[in-house]
Structure 1
Amino acid sequence: MKTSKDAPATSLLDYPRPSVAVDTAVLTVADGSLQVLLVRRGGEHHHGERALPGTFLRERERLSDAVLRSLREKAGISGRVPRQLHVFDEPERDDRGWVLSVAHVDVVPLAELEGALKSDGVRLAFVGGEPEVVAGLPYGHAEIVGKAVEWLRAAYAEAPDPGALLEEPFTLKDLRELHEVVAGHSLMRDTFRRFMEPQLTGTGQMSDGTRGRPSRLWVRASVS
């Protein structure tokens, strides 16, 4: 015989429910360094501090719509399609209460962020050059940035500039220097060339030689 303790819940309201947030790590390369976009927080908690652009999920709202809304309203960014990165569910991660964060990531060329960076509330922070900034982010955002960088480095280890940070066409030297910034260390020139060249399409043109000797120009190979 079932007791009241064993009886199934009759309503979803019988279960404790966390708040659900979306937070997006927008990564780019600027001044020869990997950087992440931060916004100034409003509201009562951590007012004026920097954090990733994010928001709480509204009733009946899709996660993807909440992400786009937060980027538009908090950072002035639109026209992007961030990808879902990871669900951060540590119960104590947010000092405001029990909050799950469905983290997203986007890789954006610096030129596409120029409009957003004109706002006083938006800035870039060096992922490796300002550890006190990233490590001090509220709401567990430092962990999100770390996961986003991990994902980005794995993607760049497998393909030439998958985030399209370089303007085409480019030289192999340009490409390698970008990949070194993302990787955070130098790469063997010949090994890099042998791995990346088959994934590129030559333009049949040469660089103008303003940065050393003229070199072959390439574009990212289209995926069929």
Structure 2
Amino acid sequence: MKIAVIGGTGLIGSQVVKNLEAAGHEAVPHSLSTGVNLLTGEGVVEAVADADVVVNLTNSPTFDEASPAFFQTSMDNLVTASEKGGVGHMVILSIVGVDQVPELDYYRAKALQEDILKAGSIPYSIVRATQFMEFMEATMSWTTDGDTVRLPRTPLQPIAAADVARMVAEVASGPPLNGTVDIAGPDVFPLEEIGRITIAAKGDGRTVVVDDTAGMFAVAQGDVLIGGSDARIAPTHYRDWLS
């Protein structure tokens, strides 16, 4: 199959392309650097031409109130071009619990992206992933003050980017789900425990303290950021990934 990977040069996209090529597909990466701009529409029609599948892995440049406009415009342009081009399957990467945390602008924006895809005429698949292991250090940095890291006890189920890419490639090369699949790592931790595990592995001198009001994940209630009972579980454990 010919698969157009929009956002195909990023952390996930570049690995998705490699996985698809290894499976014998013609995977073509597209991004701003290759002349494809989902906001202006430049190069979009050409990018999806003759593609059997389109995978959209682009992301908003900000996580604030401007993010809904990004996903509205980018999805409108991509869906319109793909419908005209006769694309048979569109895949997007979203977030587990994205419709359960309306307090976060970015989560509302990703939920909007899902809704636009569902409303179109193209058969689709939505892959919702839990939080990336690669972003745990950045998450800690948001609430670090000197040698103290304040983190809430929000349960997370971190997944490695390599596992995300493999699972996205599998979905993209299969039949449309016309629905959503959760993918998640094998372990569930309170975020404050993830902080302690990370600091211990890095020999970091910081101290983690529990603060259930700290950071963006503090607004997530209960287990909304954990994969559902039918989630596909990735093999990589967080401690193994750290080592």
Fold equivalence (TM over 0.5): no
TM-score w.r.t. structure 2 length?
A: 0.30
Q: Which of the two has higher C-alpha Rg?
A: 1
**Quick check: which one's strand share is greater?**
1
User: More helix per residue: 1 or 2?
Assistant: 2
